[in-house]
């Protein structure tokens, strides 16, 4: 990327600093404060007092203390790492100060750093943005680092590492090169058609549509990959005391809900974060939906209705020992039609499947999608398989590369542009018309990797990153 495209906020003439690790009271043995820019080393020398004859060489760790402005009080005992350009994350001079974790020590050290001349606080994602602008990373690698930090499961982390290793970049660049080859053939015919052999229009169109289909597959894979990154919201719903909370406890492997024999125990939404086969899932144990005059319980029921509408999947639990009754059927009818649902018969250890037949002659018979016992764990694996299948998450297990939403949208734009080239061929339009859509597809793919992108777009992308990343 041409350095002239660098935005003011990412100018290499400024030195930036921020805490690069999570900060919380009482948490973390160490914290890292990162500086990047021309005066990074000078700031490190000014802020950190290093005893003895330690060498300030690149990629060496130094020991010392951060001193206050008077030079008399020690703020913290630290390690300092110097990484001189271009052998650093950003490609600039980088200094990292490793201090004690928590809150106070970290903030005091950062304040000392920011008090130095020509140093300012880094903007969100600015370190990664500089790495891209300086050619240390391509845009897909920088975005993959963000995904890796935010990963909620091992499978999501594995997909992110594919991006960090350049897997997305290689895949997109390969497709873009194929399109550039075809564009060069077309442009040659536009300018020198009389001097060149006739173009194989059928072969060219076939190649464009092959690339289009590969892009469409990437878009479909991206939708499944989003499940691994973002996770699913699964709402558990059912009459009071059918075992929803027991099921939540069974799946989450820890007591997150109070389980009693009294109806209406759950008066609000209870959440449990779990990972099923690599897919992060937020289980929402809803308040038992029923007619009530209790204002507090009614508030929980209202929230349950909201959870049903927003869920990726609704699991309706009923009591096999009592059979399928009118209240169960009423709950089933309240699940929005566009939300996938599973009907689960619980307490299989108490009564056989046949009791799922309705006790009321006016009700239709129903066969549960899964029968289980939340108490003993019987049927648990079948439930997990059914949940993943109902949400389409089971198809995400074999993914190697998964684009994020921004990349997915651009890949879809490129595929649409290539589809228009087929229309141009069918209408026997001149080569000029083919090149318009082909250039659009190439431009969209270039935006994915950062080959063709504006300052404003870069700033918008990295503004979503964490400060210090």
What tens digit of pLDDT does each residue of 226-277 get?
888 888 888 888 887 888 878 888 887 644 444 444 444 444 456 778 888 7
Query: Are 84 and 220 found together in one domain?
Result: no
Supply the pLDDT for residue 243.
83
Rounded distance between C-alpha atoms, residue 246 and residue 243, angstroms: 5
Residue 147 resides in a domain = no
Residue 109 confidence (pLDDT) above 90: yes
Higher pLDDT, 197 or 268: 197
Residue 362 confidence (pLDDT) above 90: no
Query: Are 271 and 344 found together in one domain?
Result: yes
Question: Using DSSP, how many helices (H) and how many strands (E) does the chain show?
Answer: 14, 13
Average pLDDT value over all residues in the chain: 82
Report the pLDDT averaged over residues 292-311.
62
Supply the pLDDT for residue 9.
43
Supply the pLDDT for residue 49.
94
Query: Are 185 and 62 found together in one domain?
Result: no
Portion of the chain with pLDDT greater than 90, in percent: 37
* Interval 178-195: pLDDT, tens: 999 888 887 776 665 555
Residue 146 resides in a domain = no
DSSP class of residue 8 equals G
- ∠ CA 115-33-166, nearest 5°, is 130
Q: In what order do the strands lie in the sheet with 279-285?
A: 270-276, 279-285, 232-238, 313-319, 341-346, 370-371
Residue 466 resides in a domain = no
Higher pLDDT, 196 or 419: 419
Query: Are 255 and 192 found together in one domain?
Result: no
Q: Which of 3-7, 28-32, 91-95, 100-104 has the lowest mean pLDDT?
A: 3-7
Residue 82 confidence (pLDDT) above 70: yes
Rounded distance between C-alpha atoms, residue 14 and residue 114, angstroms: 12
Number of domains in the chain: 3
Residue 190 resides in a domain = yes
Supply the pLDDT for residue 5.
40
Sequence-ordered list of residues with C-beta below 8 angstroms from that of 173, at least 6 positions apart, any chain: 449
Residue 359 resides in a domain = yes
Supply the pLDDT for residue 10.
44
Supply the pLDDT for residue 401.
84
Higher pLDDT, 263 or 155: 155
Q: Which domain holds residue 180?
A: 161-227+404-449
Supply the pLDDT for residue 3.
37
Query: Are 77 and 177 found together in one domain?
Result: no
CB 224 within 8 A of CB 395: yes
- The domain that holds 291 is classified in CATH as 3.40.50.300
Report the pLDDT averaged over residues 9-15.
67
Residue 441 confidence (pLDDT) above 90: yes
């Amino acid at each position: 990327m041409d350095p002239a495209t660098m935005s003011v906020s990412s100018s290499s003439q400024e030195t930036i600093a921020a805490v690069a690790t999570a900060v919380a009271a009482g948490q973390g043995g160490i914290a890292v404060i990162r500086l990047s820019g021309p005066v990074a080393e000078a700031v490190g020398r000014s802020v950190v007092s290093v005893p003895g004859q330690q060498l300030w060489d690149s990629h060496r760790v130094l020991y010392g203390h951060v001193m206050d402005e008077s030079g008399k009080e020690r703020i913290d005992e630290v390690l300092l790492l110097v990484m001189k350009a271009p052998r650093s994350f950003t490609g600039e001079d980088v200094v990292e100060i490793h201090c004690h974790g928590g809150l106070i020590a970290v903030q005091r050290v950062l304040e000392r750093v920011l008090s130095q001349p020509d140093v300012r606080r880094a903007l969100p994602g600015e370190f990664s943005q500089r790495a891209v602008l300086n050619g240390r990373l391509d845009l897909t690698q920088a975005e993959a680092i963000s995904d890796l930090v935010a990963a909620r499961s091992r499978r999501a982390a594995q997909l992110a590492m594919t991006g960090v290793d350049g897997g997305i970049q290689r895949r997109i660049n390969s497709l873009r090169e194929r399109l550039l080859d075809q564009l060069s053939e077309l442009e040659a015919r536009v300018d020198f058609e009389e001097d060149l052999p006739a173009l194989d229009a059928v072969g060219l169109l076939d190649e464009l549509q092959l690339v289009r289909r590969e892009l469409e597959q990437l878009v479909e894979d991206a939708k499944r990959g989003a499940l691994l990154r973002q996770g699913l919201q699964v709402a558990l719903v059912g009459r009071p005391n059918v075992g929803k909370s027991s099921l939540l406890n069974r799946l989450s492997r820890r007591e997150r809900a109070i389980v009693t024999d009294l109806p209406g125990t759950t008066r609000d939404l209870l959440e449990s974060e779990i990972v099923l086969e690599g897919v992060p899932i937020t289980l929402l144990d809803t308040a038992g939906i029923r007619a009530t005059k209790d204002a507090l319980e009614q508030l929980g029921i209202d929230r349950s209705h909201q959870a049903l509408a927003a869920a990726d999947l609704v699991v309706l639990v009923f009591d096999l020992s009592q059979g399928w009754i009118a209240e169960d059927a009423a709950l089933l009818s309240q699940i929005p039609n566009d939300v996938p649902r599973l009907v689960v018969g619980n307490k299989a250890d108490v009564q056989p499947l046949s009791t799922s037949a309705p006790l009321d002659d006016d009700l239709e018979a129903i066969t549960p999608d899964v029968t289980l016992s939340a108490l003993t764990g019987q049927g648990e694996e079948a439930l997990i398989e059914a949940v993943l299948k109902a949400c389409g998450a089971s198809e995400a297990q074999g993914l190697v590369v998964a684009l994020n939403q921004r990349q997915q949208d651009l890949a879809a734009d490129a595929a649409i542009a290539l589809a228009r080239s087929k229309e141009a061929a069918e209408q026997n339009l001149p080569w000029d018309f083919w090149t318009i859509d082909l250039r659009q597809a190439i431009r969209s793919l270039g935006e994915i990797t950062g080959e063709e992108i504006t300052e404003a777009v870069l700033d918008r992308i990295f503004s979503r990153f964490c400060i210090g990343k």
